[in-house]
Amino acid sequence: MNHLSHSLLFLALASALSHGARAADAPSHADATRLSQVEVEASVPDEADAESSGPWGKASLKSTPAQVNVIGRDQIEDRHIRTLSELAREDASAGDGYAPVGYYQNLVIRGFPLDLGTGYRLNGLTITGEQILALEDKARVEILKGPAALEAGAMEPGGAVNFVSKRPEEVRRITLGTDSHGSRLAALDAGTWLTPELGVRANLGWEEMHSFVRHADGRRNFYALALDWRPSERTTLELDANYHASAQRSVSGYQLLGASVIPEDASATLMLGYQPWQSPVGIHSTNTSARLSHRFSDRWQAQISVGHSRSVIDDYVAFAYGCYYQPACWTGEVPGNFFAPDGGYDIYDYRNPDDTRSSDELRVRLDGRFETGAVQHDLSLGAGAFRREIERHRSVNEYIGSGNIHDPQVPVHSPSPEAIGPRVRRLSSWQHSLFAMDRMRLGAHWQLLLGARLVQLDDRAWSKRGALERDAHLSHTLPQVAALWAPSETLMLYASYSEGLSLGLEAPFWTSNDGDLLGPRLSRQFELGAKFGHGGAVDYSAALFRIRQPWQHAEPDSTDAGYTFIERGSENHLGLELSANAQLGENLRLVASGSLIRARGENAGNAAYEGHQLANVPRVRASVHFDYRLPALPALSLLAGARHAARNPATLDGQVHVPSWTVWDAGLRYDMRWGERELTWRLSVDNLIDRFYWRDTGSALGDSYLFPGAPRLARLSVSIDL
């Protein structure tokens, strides 16, 4: 606990210094001038009452025929959420989809891993997913579930994550934080309205990370600026820019022993393959956007949005992978892309600096309202263009030695003498689209939504050596229809059908068609849902959904490689989702969600692959958290919660599962005044009973990995309003 005691001292000193500086600057009572009384009225918007302007048109979340989980700023701060993996804990429909410590992470929604090129958005515009996504400047995070074809064109059908930036307001806040490993965090949130028309907000963040994994400490810096300009009552310009730099060693995942056994006595704190000369992974990302909105009248308004996102990854890792050089795997009876039966693994010197991912998006949208007889129409029309490019060097990925998961210390090997190859373009993709949505209000209780998006996709991909591998051109119309019935002001029921388009996957290196990119896939979703709440807020919701998509997977065959990556059969995901975000009485708030999903491959022509749950999709997930304000001490709130996942398949044939797990969390929040300042202290303890569990059985580039969950971690922070 020495780390925690030193960090507590750091927090206390910083708070005292801040208080002293403010006191020294304050005028004495003798010099003070008494001003006339000013009465100020303000309201704080309910984050659950956020307006949706996504694929179903502009409407409150309650009137949107889809499931959207809004994770507000208070929730982010109370839980000390820092990463995508920690964000996934807040929604049972989401999970980790290859999320290593020290590297950019990915999520799974409704059993589908998100496309890193199209699955993440900032203020509604697509950003590159290959970056560390900072949360200091985010007002809320929206987890959008199901196909969002009208909004995003080609993307995976599970959903998307949208980060919403803080807007200018009068705020001066410093947040200081630490944890039981000795990490330190400092963040500044400052904003003001310079004039009635011009507002600005800046968020700065610095963190020194002491990871629970040995040798995986790191650091990061974050800078964000938001600007709002209102040149007239009808026109608003919103500008956003942020820059994030991080450096941290990436942690390799475990793999099954002999392709069939879960490693016993695995350690969550061990860095497999660690070499003292191993450089950290550096990730530098920038995201900029502008949105110009103009209201022509009370019924018609238009918006032009443009965004640019760029991430540069200096990827260095001593990577623990497979057993091709292990004697136990030489006969070929044990697949080389898993650890050896005795726990042995190969170590590779992987280097890929200046791995650059960039995207640009332009979107034009017109929203209006008119009537035809007794029917009121809310019409949305628009067009968009989206470009994504990837440029990379030919990487080094050379075997340098071996290790074993039971080694008390990883053997030290020399780095490979191989040099990085030339820089080449790997991907150039364009999406052009036109979309339309008509929300027809048929009396006081019924609404019918009809929409479609025409997507034109031009996708070109090159091999590591610069040879053109794919030159795809296609056009597709994606329909979307929904019916809504509101029998009362508090209840809304809906049924929806939508189609989506997702890009094809790349064949793993260990298949006979290594590197081949398969064609795009068309998905179809049916959903029935109910939402209950007051106004536009959603207190309780439920949804029953079914998503079907062509299945692309590695099929055993008689080729020399033993497998070929093909498209055959379909993935069928049938699920039930429940959620609650409600005030239960004056002092108790509940945030909970549950997901029951049956995800299977069908008609693949291989009996071993069918009739069971797909890998990395637990049948059941649940998350529940309580926030209880003590009536006798209203400044103090008790926080408690639990997270659960059923046993999780770890292989394509469904023969191996990691065990189910339940993790308990706890925390405190204390609001106080210190002189003229307001302070909020937050303490959270994740994994209270320090349980070992496997949080992720995800895959990357066709290979499967196992990632342990974090052991018990205590975090403490104080936010000071200056």
pLDDT in tens, 16-51: 333 333 333 333 333 333 333 333 333 333 444 456
**Which stretch of 14-28, 256-270, 457-471, 569-583 has the lowest confidence by average pLDDT?**
14-28
Q: What single letter denotes the amino acid at residue 168?
A: P
**Which stretch of 178-182, 338-342, 434-438, 508-512 has the lowest confidence by average pLDDT?**
508-512
Average confidence (pLDDT) over 574-584:
95
Tokens matching residue 325? 């050089």
Mean pLDDT of the chain: 89
- Do residues 315 and 681 lie in contact, with contact meaning Cβ atoms separated by under 8 Å? no
Q: How many CB atoms lie within 10 A of CB 57?
A: 20
Give tens-digit pLDDT for 413-437. 999 999 999 988 888 999 999 999 9
Number of H helices, E strands in the chain: 4, 39
At residue 134, the pLDDT reads: 96
- Do residues 266 and 114 lie in contact, with contact meaning Cβ atoms separated by under 8 Å? no
Dist CA 268 CA 264 (whole Å): 12
At residue 459, the pLDDT reads: 86
pLDDT greater than 60 at residue 690: yes
At residue 59, the pLDDT reads: 74
Give tens-digit pLDDT for 373-385. 999 999 999 999 9
Give tens-digit pLDDT for 494-523. 999 999 998 888 888 889 988 788 888 999
- Do residues 390 and 426 lie in contact, with contact meaning Cβ atoms separated by under 8 Å? yes
At residue 101, the pLDDT reads: 96
Average confidence (pLDDT) over 570-592:
95
Name beta bridge partners: 154.
Answer: 501
**Which stretch of 25-34, 364-373, 445-454, 467-476 has the lowest confidence by average pLDDT?**
25-34
pLDDT greater than 80 at residue 689: yes
Cross-sheet strand order for the sheet of 120-122: 68-72, 138-145, 159-165, 120-122, 125-126
Cα atoms in the Cβ-side hemisphere of radius 13 Å centred on 613: 21
pLDDT greater than 70 at residue 331: yes
pLDDT greater than 60 at residue 611: yes
| pLDDT band of 562, cuts 50, 70, 90 | confident
| pLDDT band of 561, cuts 50, 70, 90 | confident
Dist CA 393 CA 148 (whole Å): 33
Three-class SS state of 49: helix
Q: Where is pLDDT greater, at 6 or 686?
A: 686
At residue 534, the pLDDT reads: 79
**Which stretch of 13-27, 437-451, 687-701 has the lowest confidence by average pLDDT?**
13-27
- What domains does the chain contain, in order, with CATH numbers? 2-21+57-271+280-721 (2.40.170.20)
pLDDT greater than 50 at residue 339: yes
Dist CA 574 CA 600 (whole Å): 9
At residue 520, the pLDDT reads: 87
Largest distance between two CA atoms of the chain: 92
**Which stretch of 103-112, 129-138, 465-474 has the lowest confidence by average pLDDT?**
465-474
- From the number of C-beta atoms within 10 Å of its C-beta (0-12, 13-18, 19+), residue 326 rates as buried
Dist CA 318 CA 323 (whole Å): 15
At residue 194, the pLDDT reads: 97
At residue 55, the pLDDT reads: 62
At residue 27, the pLDDT reads: 36
At residue 147, the pLDDT reads: 66
Q: What is the pTM of this model?
A: 0.91
| pLDDT band of 95, cuts 50, 70, 90 | very high
Residue 273 makes CB contacts below 8 A (sequence gap 6+) with 252, 317, 318, 319, 320, 345, 347, 348, 403, 410
Residue 2 makes CB contacts below 8 A (sequence gap 6+) with none
At residue 62, the pLDDT reads: 85
